[in-house]
Amino acid sequence: MNDSNFVEMIASIAQAFGPSGNERNVREVIEPMLSGCVDEVRVDALGNLIAVKKGAGKKIMLAAHMDEIGVLVTFIDEKGFLRFGNVGGVSPFISVGMRVIFENGTVGTVWYEEKMDSMKELKLDRMFIDIGAVSREEAETMVCVGDMAVFCGEAVETNGRIISKALDDRAGCAALVALARMMPETENEVYYVFTVQEEVGLRGARTAAWGIMPDMALAVDVTDVGDMPESHHMAVSIGKGPTIKIKDSSIVCHPDVVSRLRSCAEKAEIPFQYEVLTAGGTDAGSIHLTAGGIPTGAVSIPTRFLHSPSEMISVEDLKGVVNLLAAFIQAGEESQEEDLSSGQDGEDTNDAGEN
């Protein structure tokens, strides 16, 4: 896949409407992209899209979530303004002045009550969405209480980077699609899982893992960076390769999976970084606690401006993610068994933490 096709695929997935619990449109974009690449495609009861490349070896689950953050209408006042709550991690400060779009195409602007004494008082319950209606009756012909909207943010490419809404985690979804299209030769049975409701509690990955019962799993998601002016201290930068997660708020990654990822990256000469995320989590957090415990790790895409309509990633970093995942699933069954029974947990964890 050339770069222009890759970018086009990322953009088409990112621009689909898909807040948590309403991921149908994203599934409808992704599923045709998998045609001819896998042996089976199904949708489970919660809405996860699961594509399977069959094999006689280990069951490997790769998970990327389809849902994005958004807002939900809670009340419509007599003048037609919409009060709203959050679907996932929505910042009131990032939201001010942003446009949102509902599934039916209705667009509105987010603003705040101007009688506040200080912007420190800015909370979602003191904000509203203006859809241009002049009355409750007119507004109710356009949206209803309970309707969800997502932030507007078109996808653009600049200087080898992509800026768009919902790269968290449509970039991860694109990586899995690209990997499936490569169809790397492997004896392992690979499950490409496009999960639902990650942003509201890592829910879809839990049910998918129970249904699959994999031998090992990787979450593929975005992560924060520490490379911007006066940013917090974090040893991750855009353009320096994918990250191998060590820990976040939801998981301490299985040390043998971390070691395996590191070995695959080194052998394939894929630049990579180590990730320690002090806040936030990924689908790995629910997968590793499922069915008596599943050895789980995570590969992440360094991303600026998380949970905003203008998230930014590097195309080269995302290609590195695809290559690292390919190396991981291609590793032989024999070496996997050795890795997962090596008992060198302390050595692997210390090496990872020092880099």
Q: What is the pLDDT of residues 86-129, one digit of tens each?
A: 999 999 999 999 999 999 999 999 999 988 778 888 999 999 99
Q: Where are the domains of the chain?
A: 3-68+165-354, 70-151
Handedness of CA 264, 302, 222, 256 (dihedral sign): positive
Catalytically annotated residue among 198, 199, 275, 311: 198
Cα separation, 152 vs 310, whole angstroms: 9
pTM of the full predicted structure? Answer: 0.92
pLDDT at site 59: 96
- List the CATH code of the domain at 3-68+165-354: 3.40.630.10
The reply to whether 198 belongs to the active site is yes
CB of 223 closer than 8 Å to CB of 314: no
pLDDT at site 184: 79
Cα separation, 336 vs 263, whole angstroms: 12
Query: In the chain, which stretches have pLDDT less than 50?
Result: 333-339, 341-355
Tokens 């490379």 belong to residue: 227
Cα separation, 299 vs 245, whole angstroms: 6
pLDDT at site 1: 64
Report the top-level CATH class of 70-151.
mainly beta
